[in-house]
Chains A and B, each alone.
Chain A
């Protein structure tokens, strides 16, 4: 999707062109749906969220600052919506920054990390991601899918910027652990059959 096309489309959408809105949706909806799928574990929730996000986008398009990348703004709207959905649905028991000290400073062996990357498929990564706590899942998605900066992630999740690194590293640890546990289970199941 080229920037020029998008700028032109946005101008037409703002002018009330329904076809342009349809085209903009066709261009952006797959990315936003994937984003929602990563963040919201339930498929129907992701579908609902995609629709609701675009309804919001249509209403809020007037507030979009065209000097900034449109997709970044779109991801921001999407992350706010999904985070609100998760917060509404679950009683959050994790504290914002209170558990910083629980992350040990260590220099792990790179071998197991690389082995895990070699052994696990993309689908398994997504399955592992779905098992993570909401905030960890959200942080990884914002960083490695939406390519948000630490500043933007901090704003989206309502945490201090300095905490984002800890959040991302802990999320990586949790994902590694989830994937390692699924390997153990798979090996155990294979031995029993």
Chain B
């Protein structure tokens, strides 16, 4: 490869490498350049994301949204907001744990930024092509639980503590269906590297395994703490949750981290389930088609923002779920059915491993549809059973259960009817 090819194909790091030779300082400097580029990009795009979210939600809610600062469309509104946050005094409340309180906002932004290291923006534009990228992303994203706990505990505030409890319960439990649903594309691609997964998608995996995509999307909503899973900072219940005691840029850090990780989750969805930087239509009609760097990054961001738009859309539409319902939904519905899905996909992919893409696609798609129908059927039957109970006894099962089984401590109820053999009325 010579300088011109590198420049023409926009392989900028290779270009610098060729330019500077192989002196010992080159690689560290190049690493530093990538790190600074990616993290600056992430920090700057948040300004745009906040503006976008406010504008899109405003449109959905029949209002105008930001329209003063920075021209007719309020483009500089977020810049002004950030400047305001920066000028605020950095306060540590009396009684707060100084280390935990001040460490949390920095740590959470760091973890949010670290995840971007493995994200392929374009065929050759990637921080590190780790062969365990998915694993890396999952492990880094679970560090944010620690940050939230630090913030909630260190604030010495009851709302913050409640928020931290909720955050831990939610993030830890939704990691399970997320990991399980990510196993499916890993099985299909036979790779954990994000480039490997992108390259394996002749058709986007969202078409092969839509159930896995949906489950991943729901878990991503919960992992980033967005509506309907925004319990950890439920404004109307626990005021602001874990960051209630934070002000100024320390609060801004949490805000920043939330938007960075939301964008990361949408780009992860775009990469794993929608083919990332690959232009599927072009490849279908022209077998020799390969995506260049410029086209790749465009396609990558179009897909990412489509996914991100759905995040915003959901936020504008849905009410918030309650903590017990959230955990029930996770452990009693998502996790079992994701396990079934992983099992079926693993077996099926073994069977059709040698067949062409058409057979594989059809096999996986049909198995997915069957699993989805069975799962929904079960859910519907359960709902019907509950309704039947209500019609028969005139009172809802959830209300009736404590009445029948005695009412101290809800955790004991399951044991109660197991040990005493009391007839449990039509319940699982």
Do the two shown chains form a genuine complex with each other?
no
